Amino acid sequence: MSEKKKIALLGSTGSIGTQTLEVVKSYLEIFELSVLTANRNADLLIEQALEFRPNVVVIADESLYEKVESALFDADINVYTGEEALAQVTQMDEVDIVLTALVGFSGLKPTIAAIEAGKNIALANKETLVVAGEIITKLARQKGVNIYPVDSEHSAIFQCLTGEYQNPIEKIYLTASGGPFRGKKRADLQNTTKEQALKHPNWEMGAKITIDSASMMNKGLEVIEAKWLFGLKNEQIDVIVHPQSIVHSLVQFKDGSMKAQMGLPDMKLPIQYALTYPNRLETDFERFNFMDYPTLTFEKPDLETFTNLRLAYEVMEKGGNAPCVLNAANEISVAAFLADKIKFLEIAEINEKAVSELAFIKNPSLEQLFETDKQTRIFASNLIG
C-alpha cells in the first residue's frame, strides 16, 4: 500500500494550484495527486492530468466536459463535471488532504463536503472562512478535522504558534504590503486603471486577490479568516503595513514577547508547510539575505483611503451574515472592475451599500448563507447596471 499523502487539489490551474504542483513535483516520493480540478481552463487541466496522472479530474464548466473527457480517455483518468462533482470528489477514499485553491464562494460547498468526510484541509480559499467561519470551524471540531492555513500571513501565525499551544495569544499582527497604491489618497485613485491595480509590488497572484490587495479588501478578509482559524476575539487582531513583505506576520504572547515568521515572499513555502506539518522539508527556494533588506519598515494602514479594510472590521464586529454580504458584494464589484464596468473606488462603495442594505441575520444557517450570497449578488449587480 502506498504511504504517500494523497492530495485533492481544487483549483489546480490557478496561481496557488500551479505552485502546489511545483511543490508536489519536487517531492513525488511523499505526495501523490488524486484529484485535480479547474473551472474553464481545460487545456491546462488536461496537460496537468497527463503529467500527474490523478484518479479523477473535474472540469466545473459543463460545456467543457467532452473536450476534457476525450483528451483523458486513453489515460484512464475519470472525468467529472459540475458543482456537485467538485464537492463529491473530495470525499473519495483516495484522498487524505484537500487543498482548496478555488477562488471565492465556490470553495464553500467542496470544503464542507471534505470536512464532512473527515478529510484534513489545507486552506487557501479564505473566502470560505469569511462567509461561514463559525459553521466550518464547528464542523471541523466535530469531525476531528485539521484546517492548515496556506495564506502566507496565517501560515506565519501558525508557524509562530507551533510548540506554544499552552500559551494564550495576547494579540496577532497581520502584515500587509499595502499593495500598489500604498501612500495614495482617494483623490489619487479616481482614475486608477485595471492594469495599475493588477501590478502587485511583491506577489504574483490570481486576478481577484490582486485587486483585493490593491483595495486592501484582501487584508480585511484575512482579518476575518484569522479570527476563525485561531479562535481570536476581534480586538486581538491588528494589521500593520510592511511594504517589504519579509515579516509575514507576528504573534504577541501574554508576557509581551513577540514571534515573527520571516522569509522572501514565496507561496510555495506556506503551501508545503500546510501539506507536511509539523515537518519541514528541505527546499532550494531562494534564501533571504539581510544585506538586500537593510531596512524593514512598518506603518499604520490608511483606513480613510482603503475603506474596505475598515468595512471588514465592521462586518466582523456585526457577525451573522454580514461577512457573507461583504464577500458576495466584493466578488461582484471586483469582477465588474475587471470587466471595465466600474471605477476602482466604486468597488468599496458597492460593498458598503450592500452591507448597509441587505437584511441582517444574526445566526444564519448554511442555507441562509447561500441565500444571502445569492441576494447580495443580485443587489450588487443591480447597482452596477
Site residues, ligand NDP (CB under 6 A): 11-17, 38-41, 60, 86, 101-103, 106, 124-127, 151, 203, 205-206, 208-209, 267
> For residues 84 and 188, which CB has a smaller minimum distance to ligand NDP in the complex?
84
Helices 207-215 and 344-357: crossing angle in degrees, nearest 10, is 80
Please give the single-letter amino acid code of residue 333: S
As measured in angstroms, the least distance from the Cβ of 208 to ligand NDP is 6
**Pair 12, 101: CB distance under 8 Å:** yes
Report the residue number whose CB is nearest to ligand NDP.
14
Question: Which residue, 16 or 316, is less far from ligand NDP as judged by CB?
Answer: 16
- Specify the residue, 110 or 243, whose C-beta has the smaller distance to ligand NDP: 110
Q: What are phi and psi of 262, to 5 degrees?
A: -130, 160
Distance from C-alpha of 350 to C-alpha of 251, rounded to nearest angstrom: 33
Cα(191)–Cα(345) distance, integer angstroms: 9
Cβ 179 to ligand NDP shortest distance, Å: 13
Shortest distance in whole angstroms from residue 22 CB to ligand NDP: 13
Give the H/E segment covering residue 247.
strand 247-253
Q: Can you name the residues that pair with 299 across neighbouring β-strands?
A: 241
Give the list of residues 6+ apart from residue 237 with CB closer than 8 angstroms, or none.
Answer: 171, 172, 174, 223, 226, 227
Q: At closest approach, how far in Å is the CB of 287 from ligand NDP?
A: 20
Direct distance between the N- and C-terminal alpha carbons of the chain, in angstroms, rounded to an integer = 57
Query: Which of residues 212 and 302 has its CB atom nearest to ligand NDP in the complex?
Result: 212
Q: Are strands 78-81 and 97-100 parallel, antiparallel or unpaired?
A: unpaired
Strand order in the sheet with 247-253: 237-241, 169-176, 247-253, 258-262
Q: How far is the CB of 79 from ligand NDP (least distance, A)?
A: 14
CA atoms of 258 and 182, how far apart (whole Å): 26
Which residue type sits at 78?
A: N
Shortest Cβ 335–ligand NDP spacing (Å): 11
> CB-wise, 189 or 217, nearer to ligand NDP?
217
In the complex, minimum distance from the CB of residue 185 to ligand NDP, in angstroms, rounded to a whole number: 26
If the CB atoms of residues 126 and 227 are measured against ligand NDP, the closer one turns out to be 126
Q: Which is nearer to ligand NDP, 156 or 355 (CB)?
A: 156
